[in-house]
Amino acid sequence: MSTPDAPAYHRLAREPALRRSPYRPWKPALEIVMALVLFVVIQLIYALCFFALSAGSGLNLGVLEDLIFGDPATTTPLSMLYFYGALALSGLSAFIAARLAGRRPAALLSVEGRLRGRPLRVSLLWIFLPAAACMLIDALVNGVPAPLTATFWMCVVLSLALVPFQSAAEELIFRGSLVQSIGAWARSPWITYGAPLPIFVAGHLYDFAGLTSVAVFAALASLLVHRTGGLEAAIVLHTTNNLVISFAEFSGLAGLPEDNNRLLVPALAVFLQYAGAVAALVVLRDYAPAKPSPPPGWFPGPGWHSGWPEVEMSRVH
């Protein structure tokens, strides 16, 4: 839980106890550049290795080209291994960038420099379980539209194995590294969490409605990070959201006719995860920053008036 002297999550880049070397104003810029560059470079290296290994195993080159340069669908084991695997591995960029900037990489996880058990358990209970139960009950009662072949079960295994790491990687970059780096310069959480949001949204190839949905998700994830002082709840929300979407795609649920009421099941699961996120905020309210954040960095700080002559206001009769 937060203590009176605990810094807000977005200000941890300036916290001496969580640094390996003294803070300098240029170090957050280095971390931002390195995090974004490595985020892309690691995925490119993964794509090249994936392409080389797959081609060497005799896989059709046309399939690989569609996989890498085509629509990023995750409906087959191969596509899931490629897309989720590349993003999952790119989470290393946040830790590497933080270390190069002289910080303890563990500071990205929470104000305590670690993954905390209680926020993680509360988030799983309120965010993940209701949405997962919604999808599971529908599958048990109504069946899965896709054939229950080895391909289907392989998709289940890969999604459960890779999506949590893929989600954690994106949170480490967009609600971790970028937020804390910007927070070294600006005190306002509105600025520090708001600035990376358009970058996160721009990384999704959706229509306007889809991008709006991503923006709402990112705003709620940012609120979870700020109010709980760590990434645990946001990672659970991100994982739940992507598991729901992934299952709807490879199970055939998303491909049902538009007049089929079962299309409402994923929407209900998303609603439940958002409602659970709000409930988690209430349950974890003790983790919120103990003191309200000061004004933005360009405002005068506390005590700016010290040294001014005191003026005694006369009582008006």
Give the SS3 label for residue 103: strand
Using 50, 70 and 90 to split pLDDT, how confident is the model at 296?
very low
- List the one residue out of 239, 251, 213 whose CA is nearest residue 129: 239
pLDDT digits (tens, 9 = 90+) for 18-60: 899 999 999 999 999 999 999 999 989 998 888 888 766 666 6
Nearest-CA neighbor of 97 among 47, 25, 39? Answer: 39
pLDDT at 288 over 60: yes
In a domain, 13, yes or no: yes
User: What does the pLDDT read at residue 304?
Assistant: 41
pLDDT score, position 303: 47
Task: For residue 87, give its domain range.
Answer: 9-284
Asked if the structure places residue 97 within a domain, the reply is yes
Q: Has residue 4 been placed in a domain?
A: no
The residue among 314 and 286 whose pLDDT is bigger is 286
In a domain, 100, yes or no: yes
For the cut 60, the answer to whether the pLDDT of residue 293 exceeds it is no
Q: Is 187 helix (H, G, I), strand (E, B) or coil?
A: coil
141-154 confidence digits (pLDDT tens)? 999 999 999 999 99
CA distances from 29 to 184, 196, 222, 298 (A): 10, 14, 21, 18
User: For residue 125, is pLDDT > 90?
Assistant: yes
Q: Looking at the domain assignment, is residue 18 inside a domain?
A: yes
CA angle, residues 75, 80, 86, in degrees to nearest 5? 150
Q: Which of 237, 224, 231, 210 is nearest to 131 (CA)?
A: 237
Angle at 265 between CA 260 and CA 269, to 5 degrees: 160
Number of domains in the chain: 1
**270 in Cβ contact with 159 (< 8 Å):** no
Q: What is the pTM of this model?
A: 0.86
Q: Across residues 168-197, what is the average pLDDT?
A: 95
Query: Which of 77, 79, 80, 43 minimizes the C-alpha distance to 64?
Result: 79
Residue 177 above 90 pLDDT?
yes
Average pLDDT over every residue of 100-112: 95
Predicted confidence at residue 257, as pLDDT, reads: 87
pLDDT tens by residue, 199-214: 999 988 788 888 999 9
pLDDT at 299 over 50: no
In a domain, 82, yes or no: yes
Residue 249 in domain: yes
- Looking at the domain assignment, is residue 221 inside a domain? yes
Radius of gyration of the chain (CA): 22
pLDDT of residue 297: 46
CB proximity list for 278: less than 8 A, separation 6 or greater: none
